[in-house]
Structure 1
Amino acid sequence: MAEHRIYSTSFASVYPHYVTKAERKGRTKAEVDEILCWLTGYDQRQLDAQIAAKTDFKSFFAEAPAMNVARDQIKGVVCGIRVEEIAEPLMREIRYLDKLIDELAKGKAMAKILRETAA
């Protein structure tokens, strides 16, 4: 079975769409970047380098320094599919990101998006 075409798509080609979606709803590029860094463990410099290098999604997630352990708390539906039920690991990571961007665009507070719990 052939890989899904999103895996070989440049992350840099999709990133502006994440930012546009957020900005249309009054959110910021900085918030999109904060979500990306939270999810993947990239710092801002590393994230900018991945975008500049036009890294594909497969490499973007494979090279992530530290995928956030709290990402399994991300639940819900993206494109009609429950993210927590996606069996293929890379597609699940991509859909986690899509879900976080959706939550940002819907006005959810950053603390809730980043699954912060009260100490």
Structure 2
Amino acid sequence: MAGHKIFTMSFSKVYPLYVQKAERKSRTKAEVDEIISWLTGYSQVELESQLEKQIDFDGFFAQAPAIHPNVSQIKGLVCGVRVEDVEDPLMQKIRFLDKLIDELAKGRSMEKILR
């Protein structure tokens, strides 16, 4: 998966899609932000700063203060691919985020999402 086009895609262009997906299922932008902060360690101010910079996914995860130690507990399928089996570390982080947003949109409680 090296060089996949999502690596260089601007995180700020995908972020509104995460929010839209959540809001279509009566969830909130604040919950999306909480998930992103849990996964990456970004504070709300740091997250907003990254969105303003229009940084790509590679930079977004490379600059993340701390990937949560419980990410290994994130399991399941995203687009037919098991997130725990993704070999490329960056793609796996992207898939972890996708999986958490999917769980939010499916109505799972924040306590269960944030393992």
TM-score, normalised by the number of residues in structure 1:
0.95
Q: Counterparts of 1:106 and 1:90 in 2: how far apart (Å)?
A: 24
Q: CA deviation at 1:19?
A: 0.0
Q: What secondary structure sits across from 1:55 in the alignment?
A: coil
Q: Counterparts of 2:54 and 2:73 in 1: how far apart (Å)?
A: 29
Aligned residues: 115
Structure 2 match to 1:82 = 82
Distance 1:35 1:2, change over 3 A: closer
Structure 1 match to 2:37 = 37
Q: CA deviation at 1:2?
A: 5.6
Letter in 1 for 2:56: D
Q: CA deviation at 1:57?
A: 0.1
Matched, 1:26 2:31: no
Q: Counterparts of 2:80 and 2:2 in 1: how far apart (Å)?
A: 22
Q: CA deviation at 1:47?
A: 0.2
Q: Deviations over 1:17-37 (max 9, x none)?
A: 000000000000000000000
Q: Counterparts of 1:2 and 1:31 in 2: how far apart (Å)?
A: 31
Q: Deviations over 1:53-92 (max 9, x none)?
A: 0000000000000100001100000010000000000000
CA contact (8 A) 2:2 2:88 kept: no
* Structure 2 residue runs without a partner (length 5+): none
Letter in 2 for 1:43: S
Structure 1 match to 2:66 = 66
Structure 1 runs of 4+ with >2 Å offset: none
Q: What CA RMSD, in Å, does the superposition of the two structures yield over aligned residues?
A: 0.9
* Structure 1 residue runs without a partner (length 5+): none
Matched, 1:98 2:98: yes
TM-score, normalised by the number of residues in structure 2:
0.98
